[in-house]
Amino acid sequence: MKIICNKNDLMNGLNIVLKAVSNKSTMSILQCVLFDCTRGDIRLITNDTELGIETVVPGTILEKGVVAYDANQISNYVRSLPDNDITIYSDADLNTLISCEKIKFTITGKNGDEFTYLPKIERTEGIYLSKISLKDLIRQTIFSIADNDTNKMMKGEMFEINGDTLRVVSLDGHRISCRRINLKNSYEYRKVIIPGKTLNEISKIISNNEDEDVVIYLSNNHVLFEFDETIVVSRLIEGDYFDIDKMLSANFDISVKVNKKNFLDCISRATLLVKEGDKKPVIVDINDESINLRVNSAIGSMHEELDCEKKGQDIKIGFNPKFLIDALKVIDDEDIVIHMVNSRTPCIIKDEEENYIYLVLPINFV
């Protein structure tokens, strides 16, 4: 194999595919990037068996071939080179010379035969949404997936397509995050669970672009994201996701409207008195005109009063401050409305159109 590409183009490609390189694996081929230059373009492929990425790098193929290289090693070498043309030449024994200006690196490649290509997913009926929309949806929900293995489905997010709406939901047993957007087209009903890791990596690769789309294709076991010259393929999580609508339905008789920034600042301040892992709740005492927040701990105490507009009874309710902070941070509205039943049942923060719904379980504070 012999190819020439510009340093920055090659580095961009490598940075994309690096996201699916296994760092923990002991199977060394999983730590490799495959340079597949047999089909007329320079194609970089990585695959950690759960997640696979394939991208095309502009450049010239002087001699066709397939070689795998340790992904981190070749990335470090390429990153260190000046911004100029890079030649990668691999002989029949896979001894490889990477040269640029007066600089020469030699490394040994691995046989491409051992490499597992990405599964073939039929690309029909793609769901289109802008890059920025997908990134936002992920950012606004990913924090409430579970980080342990209690329930496999909790490690993913539900993507539900219903006509022209897409709903993304995550939950970890203490809280639910739910975001909904309108799609440009209408689609058949589909509901899948995409691994959180896949969404995190996707989010790092795609740019904050409003005008460019990502296309999502779903098969029975896989999801494929396509954008620019890149495809990302991931396994889906099997299972029947939780009945969210049931969880979110209740007679929320109490509602309180408060300035989001003030409320967020106030809770953040309160956490200064709560040591991590302490599980000490922040107690919120709501009367007709004000929210009173109080924390008492071994290191001191805090009290703050916030203006609010309340409907329904007075209520005193305790929360894990982290859960409120996580939700408030990703809400862009100036004012938020918190809906409550009593101090023992979940509260929800949602907008009128229900484009977002964040449910948080209260903590017993008696």
Q: Which positions touch a second copy (CB under 8 A)?
A: 70, 73, 76-77, 80-82, 102-108, 265-266, 268-269, 272, 299-306
| Token pair recorded at residue 198 | 């896949």
Bridge partners of 360, per DSSP, are: 175, 347
Closest approach of Cβ 42 to a second copy, in Å?
21
Beta strands in 91-212 (DSSP E): 95-100, 103-108, 110-111, 127-130, 156-171, 175-195
Q: Where do we find the tokens 């990037």? A: 33
Whole-number Cα distances in Å, 271 to 111, 147, 174, 275: 54, 22, 18, 8
Which CB atom, from 36 or from 70, has the smaller least distance to a second copy?
A: 70
CA 109 from centroid of its chain's CA atoms: 32
Smallest distance, a second copy to C-beta of residue 7, A? 13
Q: Closest separation between CB of residue 275 and a second copy, Å?
A: 12
Q: Label residues 26-46 b or e (16+ Cβ within 10 Å = b).
A: eeebbbbbbbbbeeeebbbbb
- Residue 298 per-residue DSSP state: T
Tokens coding 113: 């035969």
**How far apart are alpha carbons 282 and 309 in whole angstroms?**
20
CB closer to a second copy, 209 vs 259? 259
Q: How far is the CB of 218 from a second copy (least distance, A)?
A: 41
Alpha-carbon distances, residue 285 vs 129, 218, 314, 358 (angstroms)? 42, 47, 8, 20
The residue type at 250: A
Which of 267, 277, 257, 331 has the alpha carbon at shortest distance from 302? Answer: 267
Cβ 30 to a second copy, closest distance in Å?
18
**Smallest distance, a second copy to C-beta of residue 101, A:** 9
Closest distance to a second copy from the beta carbon of 175 (Å): 24
**Between 190 and 294, whose beta carbon lies closer to a second copy?**
294
CA-CA distance, 84 to 128, in Å (whole number)?
36
Minimal distance, residue 69 CB to a second copy, in Å: 10
Q: Look at residue 10 and give its three-state secondary structure.
A: helix
Shorter beta-carbon distance to a second copy: residue 79 or 316: 79
